[in-house]
Every structure is written in C-alpha cells, then in structure tokens.
Amino acid sequence: GAVVSQHPSRVICKSGTSVKIECRSLDFQATTMFWYRQFPKQSLMLMATSNEGSKATYEQGVEKDKFLINHASLTLSTLTVTSAHPEDSSFYICSASRLGLTNTGELFFGEGSRLTVL
Amino acid sequence: DAKTTQPPSMDCAEGRAANLPCNHSTISGNEYVYWYRQIHSQGPQYIIHGLKNNETNEMASLIITEDRKSSTLILPHATLRDTAVYYCIVRALGAGGTSYGKLTFGQGTILTVHP
C-alpha cells in the first residue's frame, strides 16, 4: 500500500527554537496533505490543509505564523513550529491524499513526530 | 460531516471476534463510513470503509445497517496486536477540493485484547 513517511520521529528542542517536520509520500503523488496534532490521551485535531503550490488552509484557532506549512512538491510537505514553547509539545501527524485516486479511497497517515519542547 | 458515537472502551479475548459498534444517526446519503485505528504512539491506520453494502477485507468486516444509522466493525480473530483506539468516521466525498481527505476524529473506542 501507499506509504507516508515523517521525519524526525522524535525531536527535543529548547524553548524559543524552531523545529521542522517533514512529511513525504514515498510511492505516490499527493496534491493535498493534512497536518494533525494530538495531545496525550486526546484525539487527533486537524491543524491545516497543505496544498501543493498554494497557501495552506488553517483551522480555526491555529496560528499560521507559528505553524508554517510548505508544500513545495507533490511528495513533500513540511511543518515548521516557530519559536516553540513547552505547550507546543505534542504528537504531530500528517496524512496525504493520492493524486488521481477516486474519491472513495482511504487516506494514508505518517508515523507521527513527537515534539518535546524543554 | 455527521458525528459518530462510540463506546469509550471494550475488551476482547484473544482469538475471539471483536465487534465494535458505531452510531451515526445523522449520516447523509453521500457520506461514507470509515474505520481507522491508532496503535499507541503511531499514526492512524486505515482499516475499511463502506457506503451501504457490507464490506470485507483482509483486516476486518464492516456491517452497515439498512437505514445506515449505525455500523459494526468486526475483527474476526482478535490478537494482542489489535489493541488500539478504533475510530469510526463518516465523511462526505464531494468534488475534490480541500474537503477531500479531511477527517474529523472523535474519541474512538479503546479496544483491549487480553490473553
């Protein structure tokens, strides 16, 4: 099946620094990727929709200047957490929809990236 | 997208069938029922989806009631590795655009498979 890969899987950073997380579709092209955040013992919450070649669409309450999203190619989207603070510590997960797949297909999720801000 | 209701937790003995229910009484005619699961500290994994007919694949079976207001995910022979949070999601699939692929996750059902 299709594979979506995230890197890094774990990252620890100091407060005030920026962290970049990559999401790659390994064997298919993805016009759209989605970024989710999951706090401990909670469900996934959609942060933003990343569209190749255009600006990302952010969900209500998500700061676009803090969570920078770039979708420069059909196989790569990046999420940069700028000036990270301890409250940004979370599990970040991306998913991708496959170009050309009929609208009844499943979404493919990455393995997730656990960010810890000290 | 329509909301779903799932029991917060369920137990199942290893080797037995696990039947996970989901209510989606406000589902619309163009909404599919999707099931995903999330094993601890991993990304969600697709299991199965359906519109109105029952579906079966190598992982599970999906039984959708005739009125489509509820469904049941069946894991025929549960193993310890099936312990996870199971999410039932209903989603309308329109003419592409940014809504395609956007999933709204509820709290899901924590399935614990015990020896």
pLDDT digits (tens, 9 = 90+) for B48-71: 999 998 999 999 999 999 999 999
Q: How far off is chain B from A17, nearest CA to CA, in Å?
A: 24
Using an 8 Å Cβ cutoff, are B115 and B14 in contact? yes
Q: Dump pLDDT digits (tens) for A100-117.
A: 554 455 678 999 999 999
Q: What is the pLDDT of residue B63?
A: 98
Q: Dump pLDDT digits (tens) for B7-51.
A: 999 999 999 999 999 999 999 888 889 999 999 989 999 899 999
Q: What is the pLDDT of residue B93?
A: 66
Q: What is the pLDDT of residue A2?
A: 65
Quote the CA–CA distance of B49 and B34 in Å, as a whole number: 4
pLDDT band at B92 (very low <50, low <70, confident <90, very high): confident
Mean residue pLDDT across chain A: 90
- Non-local (6+) Cβ contacts of A75 within 8 A are A24, A25, A26, A29, A30
Quote the CA–CA distance of A21 and A87 in Å, as a whole number: 17
Q: What is the pLDDT of residue B97?
A: 42
Residues of A in contact with B36 (CB under 8 A): 109
Quote the CA–CA distance of A41 and A32 in Å, as a whole number: 27
DSSP 8-state symbol, A98:
-
A32 in contact with B at a CB cutoff of 8 Å?
yes
Q: Which residues of chain A have pLDDT under 70?
A: 1-2, 98-106
